Amino acid sequence: MLGETTEDDGSAEPNTTHTAAGELADAIRTTLGPNGLDKMVVGENGTVIVTNDGSSIIEWMDITHPVGRLVEQAAAAQDSAVGDGTTTAVVLVGALLEEAAALRSDGLHPTTIIDGYVRAAEAALDQLEQYERGLHSRNDDRLTQIAKTAVTGRWDDASTDRFAELTLSALQAVEFDTSRLTLKSYPGGELRDSVCLDGVVVDLETSSTSLEALSHPSIQTHDKPAIAMVDAEIGIEEPNHVESVELQDATQRNAFQAHEQDRKAELVEQVVQSDATVLFCQKAIDEAVRTALAQRGVLPVERTRRDEFDVIARATGSTPVMAVDDLTVDDTGTVESVTQRTVGTTQTLTMQGCPEEQRATLLLRGGTPHVAEEVRRIVADCIDVTRVILDDGTFLPGGGAVPTALAMDIAALSCGIPDRTQIVFDGFGTALEAIPRTLATNAGTDPLNTLTTIKQRHDAGSETVGVGPDGHPRDMIAAGVLEPATVFRSALQRAVAVVTQIVRIDDIVQISAGERRTDARHDHAHAATGGYPWAVGH
Ligand code: ADP
Ligand code: MG
């Protein structure tokens, strides 16, 4: 339905360009808010995602209608800039277009509507400032409430609350420097098994480190284990420029093997002399060397991923050497503890208490890969929203309290406007009310009654009342439903921008592939005189 250009049925206004955007808004409206339903999006190749995150749904929908694409782009821009508020933006687009259609059938010219919307939006953004509140500090409890609000409805309440709290404690541990925080999600286990660890977790899945070595008692009990790092292969060096070595007889062969063994023993001895407990090697470690090291109480970890290798070096204060022969006690770093644990089916090594760089790792668990991935997205959204709020420092009560207050402000302003812009302002105000109305509908309460009560409460001075999680009017500050001011501000700005763009379009002219090829062979002027409107292609 969304993919097709609806035929014009001959009715005068609105034109079909508006309906595609309206349909998109209808499709995702039911996902808004804590009671929003999930959508199952089925891709062409049969891939399935189940989510109620507006941005993921739009991203996965195959929108082909050009006007639908405009809305999709606006939603994507909102998501990448702010990471939240996409559904809000799209619901606003739908409502503003619906009002625009009504205004057009009342005989208003698109230019009047656009002009009125732009002025009303400016007025709304001015008014918005009076509802903004500031955070006290980075340890303000309201940060957790903001993170919770950003992810409510994405999973059951207890889990989302826990993810928000975990994320905040992880962020606090790294002083909100996200470059020191690692997210790892593992399928298997329960959501509640997710934990925040102070330190670095390395997957041993790709490493061929033997299990006997891992359960070596000296590793688990070692006090302040020393960490050595080698940035090259560990083993017998391949002789340069020599293709093969010819061995004449058994004596020579024995001598050669003895030499190899001596060399390996030397390598092992060098590592042992450095007092290392764990040896991270960025490349492979010779099998015999690996076994010998494990026997001497050193845990060898080979093929450590480059990014993890660098992180370990920084966090433990270890200096990676290019050859084992250069390794000394001075090159090793240290941590409080090294523990081996199996997370799901993955063997991991956890290094806690890094002296040089305070790091945190969120180990996220979910029963299936799908769940683990969604959990990861939820945590990533908590991180994004925290970044946004710390950037700007101001937040707003959620649950539609602010759009309701703004709708009332716009209605008050419209009375003072002498010309037809007055009814455009009224339309704009009604469109803002789509947020509380939709939240109420999705929660199963009567949208009109709920909105009326909320407006009465606002009139009586409680401007922070909105639609509570149960669909009934609640004070949003008391309920802890808070959002960064940037989220709503930017959703409103983007919605108005795309709506004015759509209202300006009066028709869609499509060029078939064949015509476009012809077009390409001619210069632009010729193409224009060839009957193609120059607006095409914009
Ligand atoms: P978006 O993609 O716009 O972020 P959401 O589905 O996340 O859409 O819904 C956001 C809306 O839900 C906001 O208006 C927000 O204030 C509201 N909301 C979030 N949590 C709650 C809650 N616990 N109670 C009431 N409203 C909430
Ligand atoms: Mg949201």
List domains and CATH numbers for the chain.
14-134+396-514 (1.10.560.10), 199-374 (3.50.7.10)
Question: CA–CA separation, 343 vs 341, rounded Å?
Answer: 6
Q: b or e along 30-49 (b: 16 or more beta carbons within 10 Å of the residue's beta carbon)?
A: bbbbbbbeebebeeeeeeeb
Looking only at the bridges linking them, the beta strands covering 199-203 and 346-352 are antiparallel
Contact 466/397 with Cβ under 8 angstroms?
yes
116 lines ligand 1 (CB under 6 A): no
CA 175 to ligand 1 center in whole angstroms: 27
Contact 318/271 with Cβ under 8 angstroms?
no
Counting ligands in written order, the one closest to the CA of 35 is 1
> Would you call 343 helix, strand, or coil by DSSP?
strand
Question: CA–CA separation, 492 vs 89, rounded Å?
Answer: 6
CA 499 to ligand 2 center in whole angstroms: 21
Whether the pLDDT of residue 247 is over 60: the answer is: yes
Contact 374/51 with Cβ under 8 angstroms?
yes
Structure tokens given for 296: 């001497």
Whether the pLDDT of residue 150 is over 60: the answer is: yes
> Would you call 281 helix, strand, or coil by DSSP?
strand
Contact 182/200 with Cβ under 8 angstroms?
yes
Q: What is the largest CA-CA distance in the chain?
A: 109
Residue with CA closest to ligand 1 atom 24: 469
pLDDT in tens, 187-196: 888 888 899 9
Handedness of CA 94, 97, 103, 104 (dihedral sign): negative
> Would you call 507 helix, strand, or coil by DSSP?
coil
Work out the pLDDT band at 1, boundaries 50, 70, 90: very low
Q: What percent of the chain has pLDDT over 90?
A: 59
Over residues 142-148, the mean pLDDT reads 95
Relative to the CA of 32, which ligand 1 atom is closest? 6
Question: CA–CA separation, 245 vs 331, rounded Å?
Answer: 35
Over residues 486-505, the mean pLDDT reads 95
Relative to the CA of 31, which ligand 1 atom is closest? 6
User: 466 — phi, psi (to 5°)?
Assistant: -145, -165
CA 55 to ligand 1 center in whole angstroms: 13
> Would you call 279 helix, strand, or coil by DSSP?
strand
CA 486 to ligand 2 center in whole angstroms: 12
Whether the pLDDT of residue 124 is over 70: the answer is: yes
Work out the pLDDT band at 12, boundaries 50, 70, 90: very low
User: What DSSP designation does 246 have?
Assistant: -
86 lines ligand 1 (CB under 6 A): yes
Q: Of 191 and 303, which is predicted with more confidence?
A: 303
Q: Of 496 and 137, which is predicted with more confidence?
A: 496
Question: CA–CA separation, 91 vs 97, rounded Å?
Answer: 10
Question: CA–CA separation, 227 vs 229, rounded Å?
Answer: 7
pLDDT at 529: 31
Work out the pLDDT band at 216, boundaries 50, 70, 90: low
pLDDT at 217: 53
- Please tell me the number of Cα atoms within 13 Å of 538 on its side-chain side: 10
398 lines ligand 1 (CB under 6 A): yes
182 lines ligand 1 (CB under 6 A): no
Over residues 328-341, the mean pLDDT reads 92
Among 298, 130, 275, residue whose Cα is nearest residue 285: 298
32 lines ligand 1 (CB under 6 A): yes
436 lines ligand 1 (CB under 6 A): no
The overall average pLDDT reported for the chain is: 85
Work out the pLDDT band at 165, boundaries 50, 70, 90: very high
pLDDT at 243: 64
Residue with CA closest to ligand 1 atom 14: 399
User: What DSSP designation does 178 have?
Assistant: G
Over residues 169-196, the mean pLDDT reads 91
33 lines ligand 1 (CB under 6 A): yes
User: 226 — phi, psi (to 5°)?
Assistant: -90, 145
Other Cβ atoms closer than 10 A to 218: 13
Looking only at the bridges linking them, the beta strands covering 133-134 and 394-397 are antiparallel
pLDDT at 192: 85
Contact 14/94 with Cβ under 8 angstroms?
no
Q: Which residues pair with 467 in a beta bridge?
A: 473
Residue with CA closest to ligand 1 atom 26: 399
Residue with CA closest to ligand 1 atom 20: 149
Whether the pLDDT of residue 235 is over 60: the answer is: yes
Work out the pLDDT band at 517, boundaries 50, 70, 90: low
Residue with CA closest to ligand 1 atom 11: 33
Relative to the CA of 86, which ligand 1 atom is closest? 2
Counting ligands in written order, the one closest to the CA of 90 is 1
Whether the pLDDT of residue 16 is over 90: the answer is: no
Whether the pLDDT of residue 172 is over 60: the answer is: yes
Over residues 220-237, the mean pLDDT reads 84
Work out the pLDDT band at 531, boundaries 50, 70, 90: very low
pLDDT at 54: 76
User: 222 — phi, psi (to 5°)?
Assistant: -60, 130
Residue with CA closest to ligand 1 atom 12: 33
Whether the pLDDT of residue 392 is over 60: the answer is: yes
pLDDT in tens, 409-459: 999 999 999 999 999 999 999 999 999 999 999 999 999 999 999 999 999
